[in-house]
Amino acid sequence: MMIQIIDKIQDLKKQIQATINNNKSENKTLSAQAPKLELSNESTTTTLQKPDTLTSTSNLQNSTITNDYNDIIPPTHCKRILYGSKVFKYSDQQLPKVLYSVLMKMYYSRRKSEIPLLDVKRMYIQVVQSSWFWVNINIKKLHYFIDTPLKLVKACVLLYDLKGGEHGRVWLCCVFFGILEGHVFVLKFSKCNIKPENELIKECEKWRELWGLGAHVGTWNSKPALMMPYVSPASHNDWKNQDFIALVTNTIDKLSKMKFHHPRFKKMPRW
């Protein structure tokens, strides 16, 4: 029985190779006749909109308007459709052709090379104190303020995964309702398994002590998380700007005098 299975597998390999060889000429013809599509050699990415300047919104600091839990967007029903084919036996002679057809259709399918940060056609994760769920949003514009009153925020949507660092996972978020609609901030979850809120509180205090900005530690999805302003990373052109370099130098000097240090406060040379 095992020998028969092995023989069938070998036959299937030969069939696949024969199909590939037979379709090489067809592939060239198909490629020549295929319409010019917006194909990307890289995986689809989200366009991260960065602020040109970080402005102040101090007039909101003493606002009594908050977004309570009545302002939370209810979960959006998501209709999911799964397309399938008939079941093929591993030895079916049509299987290589079907697999080849699937791959070709995937390659020539229309798709966007980039996804905008705000897109009414896709769904976002809404995070609240105790949980998260999928929602549709209708935010028209994002607002980048360095001093958004984060204590007023009770619910937010995740816009972009800023990936993880040495100590936690970071998300770009925004408020979707009320006076702070569209205000952008960063939400950081700690990787520490033992009392993670302690590390977050320390980092929160550094924001206040060093920069005088109001970071805040709250509970999100039943876990402690640090809310802090969003500051976009320095670009390659920034390092060509002498005013920018002077600000970096002054910042490092300030931290040094305060006896603070950060292992990432350096720019690696590019040879």
194 within domain boundaries: yes
Mean pLDDT, residues 47-62 taken together: 55
pLDDT value of residue 65 = 42
Mean pLDDT, residues 121-129 taken together: 89
196 within domain boundaries: yes
Give the integer Cα–Cα distance in Å for 2 and 145.
68
Q: Are residues 228 and 241 in the same domain?
A: no
Q: Are residues 220 and 146 in the same domain?
A: yes
pLDDT value of residue 74 = 73
pLDDT value of residue 124 = 92
Mean pLDDT, residues 12-17 taken together: 63
Give the integer Cα–Cα distance in Å for 176 and 184.
10
Q: Which residue has the higher pLDDT, 270 or 128?
A: 128
Q: Are 181 and 154 in contact (CB under 8 A)?
A: no
Q: Are residues 190 and 68 in the same domain?
A: yes
pLDDT value of residue 236 = 85
Q: Which residue has the higher pLDDT, 80 or 139?
A: 139
Q: Are residues 63 and 184 in the same domain?
A: yes
Cβ-based neighbour number of residue 182 at 10 Å:
16
Q: What is the pLDDT of residues 201-229, one digit of tens each?
A: 988 998 888 888 889 999 999 999 999 99
- Show the tokens assigned to 158: 């995740």
Give the integer Cα–Cα distance in Å for 245 and 247.
5
110 within domain boundaries: no
pLDDT value of residue 64 = 40
Q: Are residues 135 and 268 in the same domain?
A: no
Q: Percent of the chain having pLDDT more than 70?
A: 68
pTM here?
0.64
**Lowest-confidence pick of 40-44, 50-54, 118-122, 257-261:** 40-44
Mean pLDDT, residues 42-64 taken together: 53
Q: What is the pLDDT of residues 181-206, one digit of tens each?
A: 889 999 999 887 778 888 899 889 98
Q: Are residues 259 and 208 in the same domain?
A: no
Parent domain of 241: 237-271
216 within domain boundaries: yes
Q: Percent of the chain having pLDDT more than 90?
A: 16
**Lowest-confidence pick of 42-46, 123-127, 181-185:** 42-46
pLDDT value of residue 263 = 61
Is the per-residue pLDDT at 68 higher than 50?
no
Q: Are residues 260 and 208 in the same domain?
A: no
E-only strand ranges, 155-236: 156-164, 168-174, 184-190, 216-220, 223-228
168 within domain boundaries: yes
132 within domain boundaries: yes
Is the per-residue pLDDT at 148 higher than 50?
yes
Mean pLDDT of the chain: 76
Is the per-residue pLDDT at 25 higher than 80?
no
Mean pLDDT, residues 150-178 taken together: 87
Q: Are residues 177 and 254 in the same domain?
A: no
Q: Are residues 144 and 265 in the same domain?
A: no
17 within domain boundaries: no
122 within domain boundaries: yes
Q: Are residues 120 and 194 in the same domain?
A: yes
Mean pLDDT, residues 54-66 taken together: 48
**Number of structural domains in the chain:** 2
Q: Are residues 162 and 228 in the same domain?
A: yes
Q: Are residues 122 and 204 in the same domain?
A: yes
- Show the tokens assigned to 26: 């067809």
> pLDDT confidence of 110, banded at 50, 70, 90?
confident
Give the integer Cα–Cα distance in Å for 218 and 225.
6
